[in-house]
Structure 1
Amino acid sequence: MTTTVWLTIGATLLCGVLAVLGVHAWSTGRARHEALIERLDRTGPAEAPGGRRRRFRGVDRRLRRTRLGRWITLRLAVTGLDLTPGEFFVGTAAATGGLWILAHVLFAPFFGPIAGLLAVWGAFGFLDWQRNKRIEKFINQLPELSRILANATQAGLALRTALSMAAEELDAPAGEELARVSDQLAVGHSVETALGELAERLPSRELVVLVTTLVLSNRAGGTVVGSLRNLTETLEERKETRREVRTQLSQVNLTAYAVPAMGLAALLLLDRVLPGAIDRMTDSFLGQAAVVVALVLYGLGVFVIRRLSKIDV
């Protein structure tokens, strides 16, 4: 045989050996990963830090391995809720089933799937509401945070030390978020990266201004006392303005949800006055189409009212 044939055979054998070694290394690593997860599940804390016992641990363990579970985990991480993905998933499923049955009994079988979809939408809407609520609380703490950073910087402390001190003195959510920033700085992350991730988790104009001020001052190496003092006063004024705007728009926001509630009450009243009216209405295609159109119009009305009453300060 020629030299080319021997080289071809040798290269083929080498590739085969490397492929076998690669598959063996991949399977071994995967087995170790699975064993580590199982060991953590068995030896991990059965109770939450606040003392609450975790439930549905098996569901939570399986759910975290899926794309849906990872997405729910990310949504829960920015809300500050003491819930696991498994608990949220089981709670949402139970609420969906309960509302489905309730709508089936009170109204008609046609309303069961609609109530189930509304339950799922309401569960994730609740997460968005908690996230916005957490952002609002954090914004209200920004003047105090800016004041602490200004005092610490004026005393000669480094920005990393000032952030750690603020994390210890402030309550949640600012204390928790700054503690996460301090942990990232402790393991080698830059100030710009850690504060940038904070701004992504809790997006707001006020926080972006504060982060930009801190990053630029840290990059340029100048003093930030004067900038933080001025920023503290500005944040206090914006805080009061936001509070006044929210008070003025509270009646409008209440109207946005009161109108659909009145429509639902009218539907229940109609079924009580004329028993079986909803069943007869949803038996035909035209009745079902009318119900769907009415629900879409109610939803569109809520959306339009919310958009018109949304004022960015």
Structure 2
Amino acid sequence: MSSLLLLPLLLLFIGGTSLALMGGMRVDRTKKALELRLSRVSGQTLVTTIEAGSETNDPLGRLRRPAMVLIGLVGVDLARAPDYPMPWWIILIGAGVVSRGIAFLIGTVGAGLGWLVWPPLFILVARLAFGTVHARRSALLLSQFPDALTTIVRTVRVGIPVQEALRVVAQDMPAPTGREFSRIADQVAIGTPLEQALHQMADRVKLAEYGFFATAISLQSRYGGGLVTTLEGLAEVIRKRVAMKARGYALASEARTSALVLGIIPLVAALAIELIQPSYLRVLFVTHAGKILLAIAIGLLAGGAMVMREIIRRSLN
């Protein structure tokens, strides 16, 4: 009964925290817009003064900082949250439900053990979910980036400024690359320096190739030189890096298939034994010792799968 009551309370807590943070983010955006207006009028930035006052006078600001630490702990990146396939708080709720289900199964081994392992399981499942979302988005950004650079080169070559070339990329490229360049074009349109907008994009995307691009544009704008030649060389280098990474995935396909087969074999064997002799595996679900052995087996299987996945990921990087 207590389990049924605590799950809605957890979902209610996550939802309330999400609403508070979204409200705080709206306040931050309004405050930053006001700071930008004031800095344009007075010729000086008031960010430091306003932030120092907000830490002492804004109770929501004091509460938001530990909340942001907790959100970072579970793997949420609010800078990339608008590009998530669904709202980040829904992913957190899903992670809470999945981790609670796993904790419930572990709790059958010993009383109270499920509630003890639920918090670390929740963090692990949430980080895995957001890590998968980030990895897929990064792979899309990397695969689309050479085409975006080619579009910029062709546009600049006919005499169009770099700022307009970025807007052309924002219109022509699919998501998520189009969205990132659209943000740059909008930032430049309201007065943000191009170099600053590019470095912010590189920090947000967290890909070395975007950092190369931002550095190349910054150096060209400061010291001059052939921008077209620089971007062509950069596009060629990035194409080779993408091709090398794709080749690495192809070479690692055998290892990934082996890991998948090794993970499926115990499940297939258990299903076959259940069909041949149904009472043979029942001891694992009825007796206390059987439950312990089953939990150990599932833990070892999951741990082995994660280790193999990490080895493959590190070998590709």
TM-score category (smaller protein): 0.5 to 0.7
- 2:226 pairs, out of 220, 223, 227, with 223
Partner of 1:307: 311
Please report how far the alpha carbon of residue 167 of structure 1 lies from its aligned counterpart in structure 2 after TM superposition.
1.0
Instruction: Answer with 1 or 2: which has the greater Rg.
Output: 1
Partner of 2:197: 194
Partner of 1:24: none
Report the CA distance shift for 1:63/1:309 in structure 2 as closer, same or farther (over 3 A): closer
- What amino acid does structure 2 have at the position aligned with 1:127? F
Compare relative contact order (CA 8 Å, sep 6+) and give the higher one, 1 or 2: 1
Please report how far the alpha carbon of residue 256 of structure 1 lies from its aligned counterpart in structure 2 after TM superposition.
3.4
Partner of 1:156: 159
Report the CA distance shift for 1:73/1:170 in structure 2 as closer, same or farther (over 3 A): same
Report the CA distance shift for 1:308/1:240 in structure 2 as closer, same or farther (over 3 A): closer
Q: Please state whether the residue corresponding to 1:192 is helix, strand or coil.
A: helix
Correspondence list, 1:4-19, <5 A? none
Q: Please state whether the residue corresponding to 1:310 is helix, strand or coil.
A: helix
Report the CA distance shift for 1:109/1:97 in structure 2 as closer, same or farther (over 3 A): same
Are 2:142 and 1:139 aligned? yes
Partner of 1:273: 280
- Rounded Cα–Cα distance in structure 2 between residues aligned with 1:157 and 1:263: 61
Q: Please state whether the residue corresponding to 1:273 is helix, strand or coil.
A: coil
TM-score, normalisation: structure 2: 0.64
Q: Please state whether the residue corresponding to 1:306 is helix, strand or coil.
A: helix
Query: Retained in 1: the 8 A contact 2:180–2:201?
Result: yes
Please report how far the alpha carbon of residue 296 of structure 1 lies from its aligned counterpart in structure 2 after TM superposition.
5.8
Partner of 1:75: 77
- What amino acid does structure 2 have at the position aligned with 1:303? V
Q: Sequence identity, in percent?
A: 19
Partner of 1:250: 253
Report the CA distance shift for 1:152/1:108 in structure 2 as closer, same or farther (over 3 A): same
- Rounded Cα–Cα distance in structure 2 between residues aligned with 1:141 and 1:100: 40
Partner of 1:15: none
- What amino acid does structure 1 have at the position aligned with 2:80? V
Query: Retained in 2: the 8 A contact 1:167–1:179?
Result: yes
- Rounded Cα–Cα distance in structure 2 between residues aligned with 1:75 and 1:263: 36
Please report how far the alpha carbon of residue 200 of structure 1 lies from its aligned counterpart in structure 2 after TM superposition.
1.6
- 1:62 pairs, out of 13, 16, 20, with 20
- 2:131 pairs, out of 120, 124, 128, with 128
Are 2:177 and 1:174 aligned? yes
Q: Please state whether the residue corresponding to 1:75 is helix, strand or coil.
A: coil
- Rounded Cα–Cα distance in structure 2 between residues aligned with 1:303 and 1:276: 29
Report the CA distance shift for 1:246/1:143 in structure 2 as closer, same or farther (over 3 A): same
- Rounded Cα–Cα distance in structure 2 between residues aligned with 1:125 and 1:234: 31
Are 2:216 and 1:213 aligned? yes
- Rounded Cα–Cα distance in structure 2 between residues aligned with 1:274 and 1:144: 55
Report the CA distance shift for 1:76/1:263 in structure 2 as closer, same or farther (over 3 A): farther
Please report how far the alpha carbon of residue 124 of structure 1 lies from its aligned counterpart in structure 2 after TM superposition.
2.2
Residue segments in structure 2 that go unaligned for 5+ positions in a row: 1-13, 25-63
Residue segments in structure 1 that go unaligned for 5+ positions in a row: 1-55
TM-score, normalisation: structure 1: 0.65
Report the CA distance shift for 1:63/1:94 in structure 2 as closer, same or farther (over 3 A): farther
Listed one character per residue, the Cα deviations across residues 103-151 of structure 1 (whole Å, up to 9, x for unaligned) are: 269x745784557754542232121111111111111111111111111
Query: Retained in 2: the 8 A contact 1:252–1:305?
Result: no
Report the CA distance shift for 1:274/1:239 in structure 2 as closer, same or farther (over 3 A): closer
- Rounded Cα–Cα distance in structure 2 between residues aligned with 1:63 and 1:267: 46
- Rounded Cα–Cα distance in structure 2 between residues aligned with 1:75 and 1:272: 48
- Rounded Cα–Cα distance in structure 1 between residues aligned with 2:139 and 2:250: 14
